[in-house]
Amino acid sequence: MKQLRPLVLASASPRRAELLSQIGVKFTARPADIDESAKAGESAETLVQRLAAEKAIAAARLLKEQDTAVVLASDTVVVLDYKALGKPADKVDATSMLSALSNRSHQVMTAVSVLDGTQQTTLCVTTTVHFGPLSAARIDDYWATGEPADKAGSYGIQGIGGQFVKSIEGSYSAVVGLPLYETVQLLTEFGVIE
């Protein structure tokens, strides 16, 4: 894979950085600070796409005018019973989320937005994740690891939380935080790679 244009990753997520590095794309990380609150009546899919698009726009505003970099942003939300589960506020919140996910299926929606000076494309990838049963003790033990504190839905599939996942239907990398297949397609379309 040959890289033709510089890329800016509008994220501080080490997982997204690892995924981009895994496919050999060089980038500069420039996290974008935006209000991530949902709007009244906004669906999870609309929310995740809007946030990814707004992160890309916010990061692009930080670039110098002569910068020819393309900006890539992403956002992930866990959805259970049509309700978006963000990052937990505390242990009680994480316990509530993980208890609700126990022995059930849920969706993980990850949106990717790519922006250059003239155009922006945003898409969403949905993956269904099937959890096994979780006891209160397992949830407590998991919280004690510190892993769930900064994860949408209170778990990380690529870490200790992967032990709860019986199976998935869709993109593993999207559940981690960046759907690689779709990302490569967008970066090719925007002339970042060939």
Q: What is the pLDDT of residues 155-191, one digit of tens each?
A: 999 999 999 999 999 999 999 999 999 999 999 999 9
Percent helix, strand, coil in the chain, to 5, is 40, 25, 35
The β-bridge partners of 22 are none
Per-residue pLDDT averaged across 42-71, rounded?
Answer: 89
Residue 23 pLDDT level (bands cut at 50, 70, 90): very high
Residue 117 within a domain: yes
Residue 194 within a domain: no
Three-state DSSP state, 129: strand
Three-state DSSP state, 141: helix
Q: Are the C-beta atoms of 51 and 36 separated by less than 8 Å?
A: yes
In this structure, what CATH number is given to the domain that contains residue 168? 3.90.950.10
pLDDT, residue 76, reads 93
Residue 137 within a domain: yes
**Which tokens go with 136?**
């209160």
Residue 167 within a domain: yes
Residue 2 within a domain: no
Residue 155 within a domain: yes
Helices (H) and strands (E) in the chain, counts: 6, 7
Residue 86 pLDDT level (bands cut at 50, 70, 90): confident
- Domain enclosing residue 116, as ranges: 7-189
CA-based radius of gyration for the chain? 17
Per-residue pLDDT averaged across 10-25, rounded?
Answer: 94
Q: For the chain, how many structural domains are there in total?
A: 1
Q: Are the C-beta atoms of 44 and 77 separated by less than 8 Å?
A: yes
Residue 121 pLDDT level (bands cut at 50, 70, 90): very high
Residue 148 within a domain: yes
| For residue 66, pLDDT beyond 60 | no
What is the C-alpha to C-alpha distance for residues 187 and 69, in angstroms, rounded to an integer? 12
Quote the percentage of the chain above a pLDDT of 70. Answer: 99
Q: Are the C-beta atoms of 130 and 148 separated by less than 8 Å?
A: no
Amino acid, single-letter form, for residue 162? G
**Residue 74: which of 120, 122, 37 has the closest Cα?**
122
| Total Cβ atoms within 10 A of residue 141 | 11
> ∠ CA(50), CA(52), CA(54), 5° rounding?
65
pLDDT, residue 65, reads 59
Per-residue pLDDT averaged across 49-54, rounded?
Answer: 97
| For residue 117, pLDDT beyond 90 | no
| 54-64 pLDDT, tens digit each | 999 999 988 87
pLDDT, residue 97, reads 97
Q: For the chain, what is the mean pLDDT?
A: 94
Catalytic residue among 75, 93, 140, 150: 75
Using the 8-state DSSP alphabet, how is residue 160 labeled? G
Can 75 be counted among the known catalytic residues?
Answer: yes
